[in-house]
Amino acid sequence: MRKVLTTLAELVLVLLLVSFGVFLLVALIPGDPAVAILGDGFPPEAYAALRAELGLDRPLLVRYGDWLLGVLSGDLGSSIIPPQTDVLDRILAALPVSLQLAGMGLAMAIVLAVPLAMWSASKPGGVVDRIIGASMFGILSVPAFLIGLLLVLVFVNELGWFPRAQWVRIGADPIGNLHHAFLPALVIALSELALFTRILRNDLVTTLNEDFILAARAKGMHPVRILVGDALRPSSFSVVTLLGISVGRLVGSTVIVEYLFALPGMGTLVVNAANQGDFPMVQGAVLVVATIYVLVNAGIDLSYGYLDPRTRRAHAA
Amino acid sequence: MSRTSSPASRPERGTPLLAVRDLRTVFHTPRGAVRAVDGVDLDLAAGETLGIVGESGSGKSVLGRTVMGLVTSGPTTTITGSVTLDGSDVHALSSRARRQLWGPRIAMVFQDPMTSLNPVKHVGTHLTEPLRLHLGLGRRAAAERAVELLTQVGIPEPARRAGQYPHELSGGMRQRVVIAMALACDPDLLIADEPTTALDVTVQKQILDLLGDLTGRLGMAMVLISHDLGAIAGRTDRVGVMYGGRVVESTATTALFAAPRHPYAEALLASIPQLTDPPHTVLRAIEGSPPDLVAPPQGCRFRPRCPYADQQCHEEDPVLVDLGQPGVPHRAACHHPLPVPARVDA
């Protein structure tokens, strides 16, 4: 329990730093939002007025304080690009798409990676291990957009198994939504799958050489039961860590997949906002993604205590 | 299928339990074929205890694992000869049938209790798993039996210990857990592979005494593997001395201590420090190092380190021959066995 509390306290501090970092980063992006809005050949008075309206004439720290107060009260401001929609509304529309994609993709990757890694590791250097290993390197070496394009060509254009229509909200039509999300999630899953399989396979091979595995065998346990019941948990540190990093990465940066499948996710939102100099939108979106990233990794941190009871003691002391 | 743990199911004391014939375990490595076990014969009766002694690298641990069937023939390993446990050839069985031996028939105590328990499993789980698997006990019954087993191996507060993780126990306690794990399904034969090597000296004796006590009380046969003759003295009926993958001397433990016939056994005995030695006596070590099992020396394998070696030892590989009295077999593989000191009968 104490571990959870200290982790929470750390989280608040980290998120505060993240928010300042995000703010600073966006403020330092070259280019003047006012110029971007006004376009060429504007009168100087209009420029000054717009800067005042956007609050850009005030000192950086004052603007940060203002923004932070807004964020804490749930107000991320509104877009400076017409129509001047509410940033939070736009994010709340895009975030579920990204979360679903990342979630489905990672779930597919893990569900496939665990048995593949176990199969590989059960006979290191064997035929199965080599075939799986080579396939994973193959997947890793092909860029995601190429795999995506191929999948679209074959399964959407040729076979017509999957729709290429508008995104369907999961609330509106769950089956249609899953149908639509399957291919993009698969593209995401493949590269993660390759990574997870390699990492988990290597850790499993190491664990399987441990004495306690031999001891488990000597008790007459079935090899598959030993793999699942004895070897998997002590071997899962790296892959769980990687999983946490992947969640954060995927929520904010699946632009290519979103573009390929015309999905209105966070990646598209951020990229468009950045291109248009829509700084409140970029700030809000990056802050949300960063928060998710930090939260997920804090959860991963706490899960180590479950994965290895020995780490619990270190924090309790 | 599963046997109950009643003593009635145990082979009667003295009936043959284990027969190992010309056992060879060869590992194929990039360096060449490593003959870790190179033609070993062993016999063990039910309830009997046998010590296997030798230096590191003499093949004794591989012997233990091959007898158990944990090492099997495969792409990198060749096993020839036979291991017959209670009538069935361990290496001819299917892997499924072999797994059914492990626990109720034959069990192993491993060397390092720091690494032979799963760090993420409760102590109790290590014990309930084999109980449920082999004896078909339910969750509750297995948990109760696990506490009994922990009590049996002398762990205080067994119920609380069962709910702890291995890292919360001391090395000696963990080795007791490993022993309890091996005893769980009441095996006929226990193979203890250097059970005290990784422990503090003060704990070593406790663990050895525990093993001796348990085997005696449960009527279990035991193969006690150790590099330390002192560990074997007084705790085993018979002893086999291993050198370079072979048994070079085999006899009753008392007979070996009274009069070793093989120079290697003599050297091993001489290297045990004696309490009666005057202070600052230099420990006697055996010069040289154990033979390379890829390319063992020509002739007798101990020849390069043997003070008695001559031309014959260089040319001929000695075989085990019985040098003992009628009724007291004492076999040694040496061209120049040491003489038996004249006995002074009381």
pLDDT on residue A317:
34
Q: What is the distance in angstroms between the Cα of B167 and the nearest Cα belonging to chain A?
A: 7
Question: What span, in angstroms and rounded, lies between the C-alpha atoms of A225 and B96?
Answer: 13
Token representation of residue B188: 């006929």
pLDDT on residue A29:
73
Whether B217 is in a domain gets the answer yes
Question: What span, in angstroms and rounded, lies between the C-alpha atoms of B27 and A111?
Answer: 37
* Count of structural domains, chain B: 1
Give the SS3 label for residue A125.
coil
Question: What span, in angstroms and rounded, lies between the C-alpha atoms of B98 and A122?
Answer: 19
- Using a CB–CB cut-off of 8 Å, the residues of B that contact A are 68, 70, 99-104, 107-108, 110-112, 115-121, 129-130, 133-134, 165, 167-168, 178, 181-182, 184
List the beta bridge partners of residue B34.
Answer: B27
Enumerate the residues of chain B whose CB falls inside 8 A of the CB of residue A221.
Answer: 99, 129-130, 133
Q: Check CB contact under 8 Å for B130 and A211.
A: no
For B297-334, how does the pLDDT look when each residue is reduced to its tens digit (9 = 90+)?
888 999 999 888 889 999 888 998 888 888 788 999 99
Whether B158 is in a domain gets the answer yes
Question: What span, in angstroms and rounded, lies between the C-alpha atoms of B60 and B45?
Answer: 19
Q: Check CB contact under 8 Å for A309 and B107.
A: no
Per-residue pLDDT of chain B (346 residues; tens, 9 = 90+): 344 444 446 777 778 899 999 999 999 999 899 999 999 999 999 889 999 998 888 889 999 999 999 998 888 899 999 999 988 899 999 989 999 999 899 999 998 888 999 999 999 999 999 999 999 999 999 999 999 999 989 899 999 999 999 999 998 899 999 999 999 999 999 999 989 888 888 888 888 999 988 888 888 999 999 988 888 888 899 999 999 999 999 999 999 998 899 999 998 888 877 777 777 777 777 878 888 888 888 889 999 998 888 899 998 889 988 888 887 889 999 999 988 876 555 4
Q: Check CB contact under 8 Å for A217 and B102.
A: yes
Question: What span, in angstroms and rounded, lies between the C-alpha atoms of B4 and A295?
Answer: 52
Give the SS3 label for residue A300.
helix
Residue A259, C-beta contacts closer than 8 angstroms, at least 6 positions apart: A268
Cβ burial B282-298 (10 Å sphere, 16+ → b, else e):
eeeebeeebbebeebbe
Domain ranges across chain A: 2-72, 88-316
Between the alpha carbon of residue A228 and those of residues A118, A201, A270, the distances in Å are: 8, 13, 41
Question: What span, in angstroms and rounded, lies between the C-alpha atoms of B99 and B131?
Answer: 14
Whether B45 is in a domain gets the answer yes
Give the domain extent around B186: 15-272+284-302+317-332
Residue A62, C-beta contacts closer than 8 angstroms, at least 6 positions apart: none
What is the number of CB-based contacts under 8 A between chain A and chain B? 71
How far, rounded to the nearest angstrom, does the alpha carbon of residue B61 sit from its chain's CA centroid?
A: 7
Enumerate the residues of chain A whose CB falls inside 8 A of the CB of residue B103.
Answer: 219-220
Interface test with chain B among A219, A222, A306, by most B beta carbons within 10 Å = A219
pLDDT on residue A308:
82
Q: Residue B136 in contact with residue B125, Cβ under 8 Å?
A: no
Enumerate the residues of chain A whose CB falls inside 8 A of the CB of residue B101.
Answer: 220
Q: Check CB contact under 8 Å for B121 and A210.
A: no
Radius of gyration (C-alpha) of chain A in whole angstroms: 24
Q: Check CB contact under 8 Å for B165 and A309.
A: yes
Nearest chain A residue to B98, by CA: A220
CATH at residue B172: 3.40.50.300
Question: What span, in angstroms and rounded, lies between the C-alpha atoms of B300 and B264?
Answer: 11
Q: Check CB contact under 8 Å for A220 and B134.
A: yes
Which helix (H) or strand (E) segment holds residue A87: the answer is helix A87-122
Question: What span, in angstroms and rounded, lies between the C-alpha atoms of A236 and A204?
Answer: 8
Token representation of residue A153: 């060509």
**Fold of the A88-316 domain:** MetI-like fold (1.10.3720)
Give the β-pairing of B221-226 and B238-243: unpaired
Residue A118, C-beta contacts closer than 8 angstroms, at least 6 positions apart: A204, A227, A228, A231, A232
Q: Check CB contact under 8 Å for A212 and B118.
A: yes
Low-confidence spans in chain A with pLDDT less than 70: 1, 31, 36, 164-166, 253, 313-317
Give the SS3 label for residue A85.
coil
Q: What is the distance in angstroms between the Cα of A200 and the nearest Cα belonging to chain B?
A: 17
Give the SS3 label for residue A43.
coil
Enumerate the residues of chain B whose CB falls inside 8 A of the CB of residue A230.
Answer: 118, 121
Nearest CB neighbour to A218, from listed B100, B107, B168: B107
Q: Check CB contact under 8 Å for A233 and B120.
A: yes
Cβ burial B193-207 (10 Å sphere, 16+ → b, else e):
bbbbebbeeebbebb
Q: What is the distance in angstroms between the Cα of A290 and the nearest Cα belonging to chain B?
A: 32
In SS3 terms, chain B reads as: CCCCCCHHHCCCCCCEEEEEEEEEEEEEECCEEEEEEEEEEEEEECCCEEEEECCCCCCHHHHHHHHHCCCCCECCEEEEEEEEECCEECCCCCHHHHHHHECCCEEEECCCCCCCCCCCCCHHHHHHHHHHHHHCCCHHHHHHHHHHHHHHCCCCCHHHHHCCCHHHCCHHHHHHHHHHHHHCCCCCEEEEECCCCCCCHHHHHHHHHHHHHHHHHHCCEEEEEECCHHHHCCCCCEEEEEECCEEEEEEEHHHHHHCCCCHHHHHHHHCCCCCCCCCCCCCCCCCCCCCCCCCCCCCCCCHHHCCCCCHHHHHCCCCCEECCECCECEEECCCCCCCCCCCCCC
Enumerate the residues of chain B whose CB falls inside 8 A of the CB of residue A210.
Answer: 115
